[in-house]
Amino acid sequence: MVDETKIPDMNEEQCLDILRTHSPTNPTWEAARAMLQIKSASRMVASSRRIESATYLILAVTVVQLALLVVPCFRHF
C-alpha cells in the first residue's frame, strides 16, 4: 500500500508504476495521475518560457541585422 502523502515526492517512473498496478477507482491512482499531470504542466510552462526567450532573441537579432542593412543605404545619400 502506498501512502498518498508520499506521492508528490515520487519520480515519474514510480507514479507510472502506481498507474499500472492500481485500479482507476483507487485514490492512490488518482493522486499519481494528478501528480503526473502537474509535472507535465510544469515542464510545458518551462518549455514555453524558453521558447518565448528564444523568440525575443531572434527578434532582437533580426532588428540588428535590418539596422545593419538599412543604415549603410542611407549613408550614401
Q: Is the pLDDT higher at 77 or at 14? A: 14
CA atoms lying within 13 Å on the CB side of residue 26? 15
What are 15's three cell numbers?
A: 507514479
Residue span of the structural domain in which 8 resides: 4-75
The string of pLDDT tens digits covering residues 43-76 is 999 999 999 999 999 999 999 999 999 988 887 6
Cβ within 8 Å of residue 30, ≥6 positions away: 24
Instruction: Provide the whole-model pTM.
Output: 0.65
- Total domains in the chain come to 1
Q: How far is 77 from 67, CA to CA, in rounded Å?
A: 16
pLDDT band of 8, cuts 50, 70, 90: confident
Q: Is the pLDDT higher at 28 or at 62? A: 62
Mean pLDDT of 7-14: 86
